[in-house]
Every structure is written in structure tokens, then in C-alpha cells.
Chains A and B, each alone.
Chain A
Amino acid sequence: MKKTDFPIPDEQLLAQVAVVPGGENRSGTFILNNHLEVCSFSRSEGLELISITKALDTYPWLRKEHYHPQGTDEGRPEGFFLRVKEGMKITLPSQAALCMTASIDRQVLHNVIILEDEASLEFITGCVSGFDLAEGDHLAVTETYVGKGAEFTHTMVHSWGPGIRVFPRSTTLVEEGGRYVSNYVSLRSGRSVESSPVTYLNGPGASAKYASIILGSKGTTLTLGGDVYLNAPGTGAEIAHRAVCTGGKIVQKGLLIGNEACHAHVDCAGMIIDAGEDGFIESIPGLQSRHPSAHMSHEASIGKISPHQVQYLMAQGLEEREAVSMIIRGFLDTGIRGLGDELERRIEEIAELAGHGEE
């Protein structure tokens, strides 16, 4: 029998959010379950992945330069500190799992990520609640610093039970020539998710790309933001939001602020499979330009799966469900890779729902 207060999260739970329980093929791992740090280790030279409390105790500069206390911190914060040292290119991805498996009311996190100049890393953060956890709040603040010429890809995968409320807040600074890629996948979105990441591209040539895949099922309210300030010449930003509605309320936002000569594009696309009683998708792609050489564009579309698309694929020999699945997979393809079987399973689930919706 499974106990909800067992300190090590269930392997299946971790797999739901693309976290490898043993840390195989990962350069570093941090696992937090409820208020307990289960493990934190690095297998790569130049990569540090420890708890934020330990980091604050070890590095006095951290609190001065990179750690900005939030109202939510309430004394000793929980969360991780990730640092890749100057020039270190880490080939294997690192991972963090932030799990809620017991009735702890709320989990309050404050993470700090630093990629020093010319460093690079792919990082997966999986946030998940236990199968039988009825309710709770997950509040997470993440500060990310991407140094000159550094490259950081952060893929966040969420999987929440129906009673969980989630408030991720993140701020990212990118310096000259740095590249930041943020992928967000939430196919079990709990009761509500309110996310409003803000990125400042402060150095010339810095770039950011946001991609998100969200599923809003019945009983879910999702508000997904993404503001990017293009503050230096030659900066570039791209936002691609994809949302599938099966009865939930979804608001997709994305605001690009061009303060210098830059290129930026925001694309919000929604697919309504079944709006149910009060489900909807609202897309608000925004542009604000303060410079004559800021080239900025946006697009937004919301629709259902076109019957002609399904029929065309069926006329090539696909079953209806295979056709719907292929279309949804294509719709959700924003270039997010490496999530393995779990994403595939969710897409199959959506395809199943879509198949019923067509009847």
C-alpha cells in the first residue's frame, strides 16, 4: 500500500514529469518531496546543484547579487541553487523534481539558476503532486541569470492533481549573446495555474524563446503569460503558445516590449476540442515598440480540428483516431524535445477526447 508521507516520491510520479528517478543520463539531480530534500548531486565538473538554503549559507554573494527575497519566502525558503561555471558546456541534461505528496497545504520555493559566461546546459524541472493528494498550493519563484554567450534551455513539466493551485513566478536576465529557451508543458494542470515569467534581454544579441503546450481540462483555470523586454540592439524573442481546451478556462498571453532594434514574434494558437459548460480559450498576444527598428509581429488563432484534415488523412489509410492524433501531435509541435513517452501518452489521451468530441 502506498503511503503519502513516504519521503521518496514514486518512480511513476517522477516519470510523469520526465524526471529519471536514479539520475541516469543526467548531469545532476535535485529532488524535493514536500519539505524534505531527498537528494541533490552533480556528476559533472563545473555544475553545482544544491539546496538554496545550503547555497545561501555557503555563498554570501548570492544573497547580495542574485537572491531577491519574496513575500512568499516566509523565513527559510526551499528550492534549489543551480550553477554552471564559466565556459563549461554540460552535454547531459540536469533535472529537478519538486513533489507534493503529503498534505502540507503549501510548498513555497525559491530557486536560483546561474549560467556563467559561455556556459551551457539543458535543465528539466518536473513539478508533480501525489496521486491521492486532494489539495494544496505550489508557489515557486525562479531567478535565472544567463551570462555572456551562455545557453540555457529550461524545460518545465507540470502534472498536478485536480485540487492543486500553482503559482510559478520567474524572472530571467540574459546578457550579451546569451540564449534562453523556456519550454513549458502542462497536461495535468490542477485547479489553477497562474504563470507570468518575465525575461530581460539586456545584452546585445541576447535571445529568448518561449514554447508552451498546455491542456485545460474541465475544472482547470490556466493563465499563461510571458513578457520579454528587448533592451539591447540585435536582441530576438519568440513566443509560441499552444493550448488545447477540453472544458477548462485558458488565457494565453505574451507581451514583447521592443526598446531597441530587435526582432520579435509571438504566436498563440488554441484548439478547442470540447468547451464543455464554461471552458474557453482567450489569446492575447501583445507588442509594444519603443524603437523605429524594432521588427515585431504577432499572430493568434483558435479553432477546432478541421474535419477536412481528418478526412484527408483517413483517405490516406489512417483510422480516425490515428488521424486526430497526428493532427494534435502536429499542432502541439513547438520543437520541445526529449520528453519521451509521457508526452506521447498525454497526446493519445487528448486524441481520445477529441475523437469523442467529433461524434
Chain B
Amino acid sequence: MFPVPGKLEIKNLAVEVGGVRVLHNIHLTVPPGEVHVLVGPNGSGKTSLLATIAGYPQYRVVSGSISYDGTDLLPLGLTERARLGIGLLEQRPPTINGVKLRLLLDYIGGDDPERKRFIEDLIKETDHAHLVDRNIHEDLSGGEIKKAGLLLLLARQPHFAMMDEPDSGVDMDSITLLCQLMNRLLSPEREHPAKRRTGLIITHSDVILGRVSTDKAHVMIDGRVLCGGNPRIIMKKIRESGFDSCVDCLHQGE
């Protein structure tokens, strides 16, 4: 029942928000079945990049392309991209008063009995029953917000899963559980854990990077993707010398 993982290809992408350029000449490819990580200081454009891929209309693409499994995403809106199988765990999702998480899960389940059963099993197995009868994100702790978001992603079974700082606002005990949920999302077939969905995660958490395997890290600074490489090597370098070393590295070529 699990989909063939999809390929994301971004070329020469430039994006504006409210007339201000936030992303410059981005080139980024995530091959099918690989999970990549985006790192970079605050304000470097990581969240903007994920929101642009998801299709948030305030992120206006001024040049370049984003293709997903060969489909040009730019003419498509949020809904169409979601229905193509693109999912995003937002860092700060909105509260929606009066709308219970259950209602959204029912929508996702649709009229398909198998999908409905899958979602019900998921709620039980991941011990989320207490969250589904709450209003979406209302009065939830940081950890609960992430759990609710991951439950939605798991229910939707996206081909391409993006997660924006899944560890922010989460206490240490909950991070372990979040990592389990992330692994369940990224490796949907328990018997074949190496058969993975395509993913793009923003995180600097050693706990997450220690528990969730990633194939490649990309460093973003000032709205640009500066370099990419082995996640362990890149994170080690950043921990030792900070993001400034990345800037120095960039200028070496000039």
C-alpha cells in the first residue's frame, strides 16, 4: 500500500515574501527514498524553502523551478501539492478553535474503509486518543503540537515528508517518542526499514540526527544553499566552528 518515493528537484529558485527576496538561486535535489536535512542559522531561509515547496502563496517564486517526480509544482496550489503527496510538519501551526483533530482525520480517511481502519489503528498504536478530541493545536504543549502534526502526516502517508524543527519546544522525554514517529513515517515498511520515503527535515538536534538516519545535509545561510554533504561531517564541523566556518568556506572559492 505504500507509495513509490518521489524525487524533488529545485533549480535556480528565487523567492520573495512581501517584495523582499528571501531565497536566492537555490539548487537542491532530494532523490527518491532519501532523507535530507537542512541546517543553518535563524533567518537563513530554511522555513521559507519548505513553505515554498508546500505552496504557501505568500512565498512568491520569482525565478527557477521546483519539480516533483517530473511534475512542475509552480502552477499548483497548496491543495494540489498536498494531494500529490507532499506533506509539511509546520514549526508553528495555527490553532483552529472548535475544529477537532478528529474532524481532520475523518476528512483524510474519506470514504475508504481501509484508510479509516489504518488511521484508527494508528491513533491506538501511537497512543494519541487524548489528542484527537481536542481542538486543533488549542492549549497543547510544544510536544503535543508536534505529536498531533506527526499523527496527521502519518495518517496522510505523504510520498514526500517535510518537517520543520520537529524538536522545537519539545522536552527530552518526548523527543524519543517523536523520533519513533518520524522513523515510522520515513520507513513505513517495518520489515524493510531501508525502503524509505523521501524527506527533508530542518533540525540541529543531535538526538534526532542520532536516531533518525539522514542521507545528506545542506547548509543554508542568507537565503542560499551553500553546500551539501555527509550529515555527520557537516554537523561536526558546525558544532566545532559554528556557521561562520561555512561562510569562510564559501568565500574561499572567490
Contact = CB atoms under 8 A, between A and B. Distances in A.
Interface in B134-192: 135, 152, 156
Contacts, number: 63
Contacts of B135: 330
A236 B199 CA distance: 52
A308 B79 contact: no
Given A312-B93, A326-B103, A317 B98 contact: no
Interface string A311-329: 1111111111010001101
Contacts of A309: 94, 96
B203 to A, nearest CB: 20
Chain B contact surface mostly: mixed
Interface residues of A, number: 21
Contact of A316 (B55, B97, B98, B104): B104
B227 interface: no
Contact of B99 (A311, A314, A315, A326): A326
A330 B103 contact: yes
A197 B113 CA distance: 47
A333 B83 contact: no
Contacts of B78: 311, 314-315
The size class of the interface chain B forms with chain A is: 20 to 34
Contacts of A332: 98
Interface string A269-289: 000000000000000000000
B106 to A, nearest CB: 10
Given A312-B90, A326-B103, A330-B135, A318 B79 contact: yes
Contact of A312 (B55, B83, B94, B108): B94
Contacts of A326: 96, 99, 103-104, 107
Interface in B73-87: 77-79, 81-83, 87
Chain A contact surface mostly: helix
Contacts of A317: 79, 82-83, 107-108, 156
A137 B104 CA distance: 43
B221 interface: no
B99 A308 contact: no
Interface string B98-141: 11100110011000000000000000000000000001000000
A67 to B, nearest CB: 40
A238 to B, nearest CB: 16
Contacts of A316: 82, 104, 107-108, 152, 156
Given A320-B79, A330-B103, A330-B135, A315 B88 contact: yes
Given A317-B83, A322-B107, A326-B104, 19 more contacts: A306-B94, A309-B94, A309-B96, A311-B56, A311-B57, A312-B90, A313-B96, A313-B104, A314-B77, A315-B54, A315-B82, A316-B104, A317-B82, A326-B103, A326-B107, A330-B97, A330-B98, A330-B103, A333-B98
Interface of B: 54-57, 77-79, 81-83, 87-88, 90, 93-94, 96-100, 103-104, 107-108, 135, 152, 156
5 contacts: A314-B78, A317-B82, A320-B79, A330-B96, A333-B98
